[in-house]
Amino acid sequence: MKNLLTFKNVNYFYQTKNDEIFALNNVNFDVEENSFVSLVGPSGYGKTTILSLTAGLLTPSSGKITLDGEDKIDIKKIGYMFQKDFLFEWRTVWKNITLGLEIQKPKDKEEKLAMAEELLKKYDLYGFKDQKPRSLSGGMRQRVALIRTLTMEPKLLLLDEPFSALDYQTRLSVCDDVYEIIKSEQKTAILVTHDISEAISMSDKIIILTSRPATVRETLSLNLEGTSPLKKRETPTFASLFDHIWRQLSNEETAKNKT
């Protein structure tokens, strides 16, 4: 299958006044079209940096990023859901969701508005359509941010820990929903998460990062049976995969502590 995104020997340095932080060291990976890829690694390992590079918000210090066959990243092909919801307090929920449409004014705006309405209903937020974000809970805010991203119908979805503010039950079901939307809409997604089981249950591929300067430690291709993330959690290979990834990450931690 065709690769939608490739990172080739990507290095990235954060420049600050007093320091140069070597964040990514020779990162290589690719994301196939219509696949679901997870990036795992503890805090500060460069996951957000990888997403920002993908979205074209940062430019690699060296190396090459190719999106949809082009070296120049077309930001309109990307939907980026940030770690924080960044809802605008002075806009209603509906106005927040349609912000991207307001900015880009796509030709099929009407259809996208209809889709936004559908998604609102699906996530039990329709009643809050005309409310300000102030009156929403953390989980609701995150769902609004997710809908805001999905409404743009991007080719590639970047999800930076989208479920972190949800309680465990909601988290499982939102995972299921997002998975289903992405699969049924034939989208490609990169998910950043701390949660190993989330990564296993949702992904076709898992990329494990090393500590800073981050590089790809291991790429796991998964082929779990089961139609939904919840079902996948029950498969026998799930536990052994979990164990494997967990070991990888904890080796990384101990290696880091030694140096």
Partner 1 sequence: MKKQQKTKPNFSKSHQLYVKRLKKDKFVINFFRVFVLVAFLGIWELLTYYKVLDPFFVSSPSRIFAQIGTMAQNGTLLTHSWVTLYETLIGFGIATAVGYVIAVLLWWNEKVRKVFEPYIVVLNSLPKIALGPVIILWVGAGTSAIVLMCVLICIVITIMSMLSAFLAVEEGKILLMKSMHASKLQILFKLVLPSSMPEFVSVLKINVGMSWVGSIMGEYLTSKAGRGYLIVYGGQIFKIDLVMASTMILCILAFGMYYFVSLLEKKYNPGAKS
Ligand X SMILES: Nc1ncnc2c1ncn2[C@@H]1O[C@H](COP(=O)(O)OP(=O)(O)OP(=O)(O)O)[C@@H](O)[C@H]1O
The 3-state DSSP composition of the chain as helix, strand, coil percent (nearest 5) reads: 40, 25, 35
Smallest distance, partner 1 to C-beta of residue 91, A: 8
Contact predicate 93/146, CB 8 Å: no
Let me know: does 255 contact 215? Beta carbons within 8 Å.
Answer: no
Task: Look up residue 51 and give its two tokens.
Answer: 């997403």
* H or E stretch at 158: strand 156-160
Q: Which string of DSSP letters, residue by residue, matches 69-92? A: TBSS--GGGEEEE-SS----TTS-
Chain residues binding ligand X by CB under 6 A are 14, 16, 21, 23, 41, 43-49, 83, 212
Q: Which does 7 bind (CB under 5 to 8 A by kind): partner 1, Mg ion, ligand X, none?
A: none
Residue 94 vs 163, nearer CB to ligand X: 163
Nearest to 36 by CA among 162, 214, 215, 165: 162
Considering only residues 60 through 119, tell me which ones interact with partner 1, judged by CB under 8 A: 75-76, 78, 80, 82, 84, 86, 88-91, 99-100, 102-104
**What minimum distance in Å lies between the beta carbon of 246 and partner 1?**
31
Tokens encoding 192: 């950043």
**Euclidean distance between CA atoms 231 and 226, whole angstroms:** 5
35, 38, 48, 149: which one binds Mg ion (CB under 5 A) = 48
Selected range binding Mg ion among 48-56, 115-123, 197-205, 233-241, rule: CB under 5 A: 48-56
Cβ-based nearer residue to ligand X, 46 or 79: 46
Site for partner 1 in 17-36 (CB under 8 A): none
Which CB sits closer to ligand X, 212 or 244? Answer: 212
Q: Tell me which residues touch partner 1 (CB under 8 A).
A: 52, 55, 57, 75-76, 78, 80, 82, 84, 86, 88-91, 99-100, 102-104, 134, 152
Q: Tell me which residues touch Mg ion (CB under 5 A).
A: 48
